[in-house]
Structure 1
Amino acid sequence: MKLALLGGGGFRVPLVFRTLLADTSPGRVTELRLVDTDPARLRTMSSILETMSAGRADVPRILLFTDLREAVRGVDFVFSALRVGGTRGRALDEQIAQQVGLLGQETTGFGGISYALRGLPTALDIARTIAEVNPEAWLINFTNPAGIVTEASRAILGDRVIGICDSPIGLARRALGALESAGLAPAGTTAATGLGDSPVRLDYIGLNHLGWLQGLEVDGTDLMPALLARPDLLERTEEGRLFGADWVRTLGCLPNEYLHYYYFARETVAADADADLTRGRFLLGQQDAFFTEAAGSPERAAELWEATRRRREETYMATNREAAGGMERDEADLESGGYDKVALAIMHAIAHDRPAQLILNVANGSQVDFLPPDAVIEVPCTVDANGATAHQVSPVPVHGRGLVHTVKTVERTVIAAVQERSRDLAVEALALHPLIDGVGVARKALALAEDAFPELAYLR
């Protein structure tokens, strides 16, 4: 298989390559095309990948591209992991949000909408290019906000676009790990969950970064009631500690970690305000230092990358954990990745008709009765040579229906704003979001974003 990785100079590329190296199966990826607009970062990533593959046989051939059309020509799959505006853009979103008293997280609320407004034009250009140059290719989207980007891209490429995220898989694994530790799930259940042919059936539904795990069926038995009955086991999971066992039991299911921004909005905004650095500013400084040092010492690039990656994972959602009273991440969660294994499972499933069960971002169809059929939702699917087919799962929890409907309305309004180049629709999307309290602050935040980001000059 041939794979083009868009955002090939991005920091997390070695995670994808590590997974490709571990794959020795027939039909594995034999050519990896790294695609980026920054040649210097491409060279740094190439150095790291060369070090990772040193002394190994049958490694993927690595090619570097700055031209999108040439990069996607003739490949089987395109993996999109872009950040339009870079980490600096994320830091600016957080700064603007703090100026107007809003949450600045990059995929939720103001940050997510701002990110989508500047990133969607590029995502749509990518989809149009693939449709023109290589319409038989499959697009695996990891570019955030993943639900919005996947839905907009589907309007051009249809079912050949599949959105991925690692947070639902991490949630399910942590839940099963807690059950395994108490002998309530068979040993080894956790490891393969959500990545392919696992016998575990996950009852999960929602939108990207806004979903709920309602069931964990192992050998025909739903283990969720056993988990909810044990506060001590719930608090062995990151979500149990983040939300508190009492709140999880009130909900009657396990919420995706990103719902913390909704359920504990004031606490998180306050923790962000008190932090020495926002997440984006921390990552900006960290990655600038890494790329500078790695460029000067290419022989140490892989070592520097691993140390930087480790620190990045240790500080993931740090202000949320601070808002929850302070908690450290479990060692298992510091390994990072997950999306890379999902992407590999999708490629093998489609290219070699090797069915896999995965949680993905796909078209709703009739699954969620209050959303349009073409709205993208996040749900367990079976993937094979024909693409992804959603499983029938429990309805959206009653307590989450209004939130899902409102956020999906916001997402579709953002897409319309980009397609119509409409500032009024951009304001509407911001004002309707549950984490943005009013039209006035929406207008002010958008005006600040337009001043900060030349990418938003298309709005009229």
Structure 2
Amino acid sequence: MKGLKIAVIGGGSSYTPELIDGFIKRVEELPVKELCLVDIEEGRSKLEIVGNLAKRMVKKAGLDIQIKLTLNRKEAIKDADFVLTQLRVGGLAARARDEHIPLKYNVLGQETTGAGGFAKAMRTIPVILDICRDIETLSPNAWLINFTNPAGLITETILKYANVKAIGLCNVPIHMVKNTAELLEVDSSRLQIEFAGLNHLVWGRKVYLDGKDITDKVINMLCDGASLTMKNITDLNWDKDYLRALSMIPCPYHRYFYMTDEMIDDMKTALATGEGTRADQVQKVEKELFEIYADESLDIKPPQLEKRGGAYYSDAAVSLISAIYNNKKEIHTVNVRNNGAILNQPEDVVVEVNAVIDSNGAHPIAVGKLPPEISGLISSVKAYELLSVEAGVTGDYNTALKALIAHPLVPSVKTAKLILDDIIRENRGYLPQFE
């Protein structure tokens, strides 16, 4: 088989050992010959630390994979078969601002949801479109696998404004499958969940074990205190009556919509007690991780990485690449153009659904019309996403304001303006489109 070239944009991320571990595990089906980890000057130190760990991991596995570390993005992208984007414009310090700014106005601040996710998207959109232009020129046949948050909104931007073969990816659905399997004490290969919605706003409509519908059983277990949350989201229990009435499995991020007051109180308490928001906590975790990564005796993915919230990322990303490369026709949950999969959403918007993956990409599986108890929220958030994409591309203040006001978690025009002005002021230097 022809050796593959993989470019990882944001290669100095603490998530990278997850990816390396995934490629090592799938060496029989993915003949990776060259793995280019690329970052920017500010990330040089992290790139070298994580890159050297990657080299040790590959050496320990006895594999002939060339690990290249570079600050030259074009060099990394040129002739790549797959390009993975896992970047964070502005780093964790910017994420902390995204979380803190809305909380000043008693509005939820979160990395991907609401006003915080909006700020991250505004910083990311100009960069992701630059990357796409490089792909169009230097590797027009490459697949772009986007893991950069907010993944659905960024994938929407790519598919609307670039000529690149792209699929958006998130580890939440695979996390839900794995956690449900643990709950049931079965192997996850026996489970299938019918997912439908948007990124970080996806529902498990049906859960099947060996082809048998066990949705009610899982909902009853959740009502009895079982948990399907992630390490980066506070584990607040769902309201039992609502969960039974909904008759679907909400993803962990639904807590921000269904338990908004409790989540805001939890975040404000964490700030007041010195624990900090999730970004503050992750900065400490990441500092510890890179100290571990720098140990020259380490040649495996360390278990401490699970604290970072990226569990199963390698399973999701590398298995998706393998499904495309090997024309597997497997079912994966991805962010992809709707194309009629959800009947009460426009055909040309990005949704998160199960799709059959082959060498031509993702073919979404039809789920029909979604019920009003979830379709209304999806439509509101999709309107926000579409306006945010336009604002991120054009830098138009009024469009940005309309985007924030459209989001269900932003309570008023006055508050939206205050937050938007703070975001633009605090992100000066990262928002060239607004200058």
Give deviations 1:129-187, integer Å, cap 9, x for gaps: 11111110000000000001001111245571001111112213323433x34xxxxx4
Aligned length: 420
Matches within 5 A, 1:396-411: 396-411=370-385
Q: Which moved more, 1:50-59 or 1:411-420?
A: 50-59
Distance 1:385 1:113, change over 3 A: same
Whether the aligned pair in 1 keeps the contact of 2:98 and 2:116 (CA below 8 Å) is yes
Letter in 1 for 2:112: T
Q: Within 1, Cα distance between the matches of 2:431 and 2:79?
A: 33
TM-score (structure 1 length as normaliser):
0.85
Give deviations 1:226-275, integer Å, cap 9, x for gaps: 333x3478633325963244332121110011000000001100110000
> Does residue 1:45 correspond to 2:54, yes or no?
no
1:12 corresponds to: 15
- Give RMSD over aligned pairs: 2.3
> Does residue 1:261 correspond to 2:227, yes or no?
no
Deviation at 1:225, TM superposition (A): 2.8
Letter in 2 for 1:50: K
Distance 1:137 1:457, change over 3 A: closer
2:319 corresponds to: 345
1:235 to 200, 204, 225: 225
Deviation at 1:23, TM superposition (A): 1.6
1:208 to 199, 207, 210: 199
SS at match of 1:238: coil
2:399 corresponds to: 425
Matches within 5 A, 1:135-146: 135-146=140-151
Q: Within 1, Cα distance between the matches of 2:413 and 2:297?
A: 50
Distance 1:457 1:46, change over 3 A: closer
Q: Within 1, Cα distance between the matches of 2:156 and 2:39?
A: 23
Deviation at 1:433, TM superposition (A): 0.7
Q: Within 2, Cα distance between the matches of 1:227 and 1:298?
A: 42
Q: Which moved more, 1:150-159 or 1:422-431?
A: 150-159
> Does residue 1:152 correspond to 2:157, yes or no?
yes
Q: Within 1, Cα distance between the matches of 2:143 and 2:307?
A: 33
Distance 1:457 1:99, change over 3 A: farther
Whether the aligned pair in 1 keeps the contact of 2:18 and 2:313 (CA below 8 Å) is no
Deviation at 1:27, TM superposition (A): 3.6
Distance 1:104 1:233, change over 3 A: closer
Matches within 5 A, 1:295-444: 298-299=295-296, 306=302, 308-313=304-309, 336-444=310-418
Q: Which stretches of structure 1, 4 residues or longer, exceed 6 Å deviation after superposition?
A: none
Q: Within 2, Cα distance between the matches of 1:232 and 1:77?
A: 38
Deviation at 1:286, TM superposition (A): 3.5
Deviation at 1:374, TM superposition (A): 1.4
Q: Within 1, Cα distance between the matches of 2:210 and 2:99?
A: 45
Listed as ranges, the gaps of 5+ residues in structure 2 are: 230-234
Give deviations 1:93-113, integer Å, cap 9, x for gaps: 112122121111100001000
Letter in 2 for 1:63: K
Distance 1:395 1:370, change over 3 A: closer
Letter in 2 for 1:458: Q
TM-score (structure 2 length as normaliser):
0.90
SS at match of 2:36: strand
Deviation at 1:458, TM superposition (A): 2.5
> Does residue 1:93 correspond to 2:98, yes or no?
yes
Listed as ranges, the gaps of 5+ residues in structure 1 are: 182-186, 194-199, 314-335
Letter in 2 for 1:284: Q
